[in-house]
Amino acid sequence: MDYTLTEDQEQLRRLVEEFVARDVKPYWEKLGYEDFPWPLFRQLGDLGLAAIPFPAEYGGGGLDYSSYIVVLEDLSRLGSHLGSVLSVHGLPQLIINHFGTDAQKQKYLPAMARAELLGAFALTEPHAGSDAANINTRAELRGDKYILRGQKIWITHGGEADVYIVMAVTEKGKGAKGVSSFIVEKGTPGLAFGKRERPMGLPHHTREVFFEDCEIPRGNLIGREGDGFKVAMTALDSGRITVAATSIGTAQEAFDHALRYSTERRAFGQAISEFQGIQFMLADMAAAIEAARCVTRKAAWLRDRELPFNAIASMAKLLATDSAMKVTTDAVQIYGGYGTSEDYPVQALMRQAKIGQIVEGTNQIQRMIIARELLKKFKE
Amino acid sequence: MNIVVCLKQVPKKDSILRIGSDGKWIDERDISYEMSEADAYALEEALRQKEKHGGEVIVVSLGPERARQSIKEALAKGADRAIHLFDSVFDTATDSAAVARAISAALKDEKYDLILTGLQSDDYGFAQVGLIVAEQLGLPSATIVMEVQPEDSAVRVKRELESGWFQWVRLPMPALLTIQSGINQLRYATLKGIMAAKKKEIREVKAADIGLTSDDLKPGQVIERAYLPEKTKRTEFIEGKPAEAAAKLVEKLRFDARVI
């Protein structure tokens, strides 16, 4: 495994760095974070970045996850806003690409790659998230249509997205085996949106989604009935690598600010970077970022080689998001009182870091996944 | 229309610069590099002319191995092929005349209608290489170009003069133009462009390939000392009545310190 970037990855990284400096930063400064950043999303499509790891025959970039995470990390340098958009847009693309029929792929993937259609993934409900076998949304086959009834919550891109992958129960009492997944397009009668939940630091992100006798064609089923749990877990295994990458970008940004600030701020006649107490914090922050980046790259590397990667992906998600929380919190600490001010960048990064420990399975769930993998060989 | 663009790779604008141990140039360790800004505009202008009139955009760059990154970026943005003057013999070519000699020699067998360079590089800032190349190749040239309008066998260009004045000049082609920063909107290299660039030719050229020896590349000008601007402190008391002193202070702030 090679830790240096390939020539192509370095080019991609520089492209993203330039895009962030030239267009993303001024956009946030001018328009703030309240609304979904449509112009930036469309621009990701123009730059060829809206479908990096998906096949070129459906308009994707045809690159590997190792390249994809380089882009995600740098896209998250000003916070996870845009990195998360790309990462969440990737879940329905991954599902359609992996499990969809050719007709479904033709219909959605090229338009999603061009960023003409935005994707969303609707699993979580008020009383079930990672416990996907216990969701309540129902899908009932009637003739050549499925009728969906139920409620989803915390749906990233809810209300904005054009294409929703929805998990619903097709056969009650069968637990995980009774769950199926469907494509629901925005504009379908019965698909309704609730209020924004305004997660901390990411106000544009999520919304409640309702299905009120929402009729969709039978052809919108993904795979077969009962495949839903497998579909969701496949998407989340890969999604965890992308959450890790966006968290690392956010942590690196906070660290770079704190490092520079520590050399400028003076106390007791010297820069605070001269104090061992600050130096140890900086060293721990740098070490945590580096370690998280290495394990995240390893997860991508394994995935690219079609080797088992799900426990490592969980480790990457766990380490990267915990590190991001710690690093951004310490960055605020190094800034002292200024760190808490909205006029300085680090508090916003700290607020955004928290959700990383919760999404795509809480970090407690990640530990369960890792432990299950560790103990597997002792089970009969 | 075939256009040659001369590119130079320079330290990134936000780099933290330190003077090197020999005291003659900056310490190049831990520095990232990028395409010199005016050269990026020259490349963009060439790509726009190609889109309008067809032809080929050829990039030429003299520099160490790392310069390949900027060459690849140019190819990813749409240049067709590149010539990389890459040889330890070129390391001594640190002044404009020596660099120009190498570029002119490399272009001897190329067919082109225009050669575009940036107005000046972001590192040395001599603003000389383009003009010397024109002289060596026997081409007409125009500097500080804001607009390029090819017409049959000639090109009309708008030049920037002092105090907000402009000048239109007509030159027969082939010609060399040095391009001012900011004359167009730079494009991004897209993912598709980056992938397409992998198939494009980067011809590595050594000094011997273009008939040059280290004697030809000896600089006529050397940098003896590089140093950061030296700061001095000076305190001045302004005497007089408050109103007069305030007026004097404003004058000093406006004309001496130029901060208001």
Contacts of A263 (CB under 8 A, 6+ apart): A271, A273
Superfamily name with CATH number, domain A119-226:
Butyryl-CoA Dehydrogenase, subunit A, domain 2 (2.40.110.10)
Assign domain A7-113 to its CATH architecture: Orthogonal Bundle (1.10)
A230 C-beta neighbours (distance < 10 Å), count: 17
Tens of pLDDT along A133-178?
899 999 999 999 999 999 999 999 999 999 999 999 999 999 899 9
Could you tell me if A260 and A284 are in contact, meaning their C-beta atoms sit under 8 angstroms apart? no
Which chain B residues touch A63 with a CB distance below 8 Å? Answer: 191
Superfamily name with CATH number, domain A230-376:
Butyryl-CoA Dehydrogenase, subunit A, domain 3 (1.20.140.10)
ipTM exceeding the 0.90 mark: no
Please indicate whether, in this complex, the C-beta atoms of B190 and A46 are within 8 angstroms of each other: yes
CA-closest candidate to residue B38, choices B192, B222, B134, B178 = B178
Report yes or no: B75 at the A interface, CB cutoff 8 Å.
no
Tell me the pLDDT of chain A averaged across its residues.
96
**Shortest Cα distance from A15 to chain B (angstroms)?**
6
The structure tokens listed for A26 are 């001024």
Position B196 scores a pLDDT of: 96
The structure tokens listed for A340 are 């808490």
Nearest Cβ partner for B188 among A15, A61, A63: A15
Report yes or no: A131 at the B interface, CB cutoff 8 Å.
no
Give the whole-number percent of chain B exceeding pLDDT 90: 82
The structure tokens listed for A74 are 């740098």
Position A358 scores a pLDDT of: 95
- As a whole number of angstroms, the distance between CA A99 and CA A230 comes to 10
Tens of pLDDT along A218-232?
999 999 999 999 999
Which helix (H) or strand (E) segment holds residue B147: the answer is: strand B141-151
- According to DSSP, the β-strands at B57-62 and B81-85 are parallel
**Shortest Cα distance from B188 to chain A (angstroms)?**
7
Could you tell me if A72 and A246 are in contact, meaning their C-beta atoms sit under 8 angstroms apart? yes
CA separation (Å) from A222 to A95, A101, A179, A276, B21? 8, 8, 11, 57, 64
Average pLDDT of span A303-314: 96
pLDDT greater than 90 at residue A185: yes
Buried-exposed string B179-208: b where 16+ CB fall within 10 A, e elsewhere: bbbebbebebbbbebbbebeebebeebebe
Report yes or no: A5 at the B interface, CB cutoff 8 Å.
no
**Shortest Cα distance from A261 to chain B (angstroms)?**
14
Which helix (H) or strand (E) segment holds residue A215: the answer is: strand A206-217
This prediction has a pTM of 0.91
Regions in chain B scoring below 50 on pLDDT: none
Position A78 scores a pLDDT of: 92
The structure tokens listed for B4 are 């040659």
CA separation (Å) from A355 to A44, A165, A258? 23, 22, 21
- As a whole number of angstroms, the distance between CA B139 and CA B132 comes to 10
* Nearest residue of B to residue A19, measured between CA atoms: B188
Position B94 scores a pLDDT of: 82
Position A166 scores a pLDDT of: 97
| Amino acid letter, residue B46 | A
Residue of A5, A7, A10, A14 to mutate when probing chain B, most B C-beta within 10 A: A14
Position A122 scores a pLDDT of: 96
The single-letter DSSP state of residue A181 is E
Find residues 53-112 of chain A whose CB sits inside 8 Å of chain B. Answer: 61-63
Please indicate whether, in this complex, the C-beta atoms of A48 and B192 are within 8 angstroms of each other: yes
Model confidence at A245, in pLDDT bands (50, 70, 90)? very high
Tens of pLDDT along B154-212?
999 999 999 899 999 999 999 999 999 999 999 999 999 999 999 999 999 999 999 99
Tell me the pLDDT of chain B averaged across its residues.
94
Which chain A residues touch B188 with a CB distance below 8 Å? Answer: 15, 18-19, 47
Position B259 scores a pLDDT of: 85
Which chain A residues touch B191 with a CB distance below 8 Å? Answer: 12, 15, 47-49, 52, 61, 63
Give the whole-number percent of chain A exceeding pLDDT 70: 100
Contacts of B56 (CB under 8 A, 6+ apart): B2, B3, B50, B80, B81
Full set of structural domains in chain B with CATH: 3-210 (3.40.50.620)
Position B16 scores a pLDDT of: 86
Q: Tell me the count of A-B CB pairs closer than 8 A.
A: 38
Nearest Cβ partner for B191 among A7, A14, A52: A52
Dihedral (CA of A214, A219, A221, A226) sign: positive
Query: For chain A, where do the domains classified as CATH 2.40.110.10 start and end?
Result: 119-226
Query: For chain A, where do the domains classified as CATH 1.20.140.10 start and end?
Result: 230-376
pLDDT greater than 80 at residue A253: yes
Report yes or no: B192 at the A interface, CB cutoff 8 Å.
yes
Residue A6, φ and ψ in degrees, nearest 5? -70, 165
**Shortest Cα distance from B28 to chain A (angstroms)?**
19
Residue A324 CB burial class (10 angstroms; 0-12, 13-18, ≥19)? buried
Which chain B residues touch A61 with a CB distance below 8 Å? Answer: 191, 195
Identify the residue whose tokens are 């003057």. Answer: B85
C-alpha A270: how far from chain center: 41
Please tell me whether residue B167 adopts helix, strand or coil conformation: strand
Report yes or no: A228 at the B interface, CB cutoff 8 Å.
no
Tens of pLDDT along A36-89?
999 999 999 999 999 999 999 999 999 999 999 999 999 999 998 999 999 999
Position B37 scores a pLDDT of: 97
pLDDT greater than 80 at residue A380: no
Please indicate whether, in this complex, the C-beta atoms of A18 and B69 are within 8 angstroms of each other: no
Query: For chain A, where do the domains classified as CATH 1.10.540.10 start and end?
Result: 7-113
- As a whole number of angstroms, the distance between CA B237 and CA B249 comes to 10
Position B152 scores a pLDDT of: 87
- As a whole number of angstroms, the distance between CA B174 and CA B169 comes to 14
Please indicate whether, in this complex, the C-beta atoms of A11 and B198 are within 8 angstroms of each other: no
Catalytic residue numbers of A read: 360
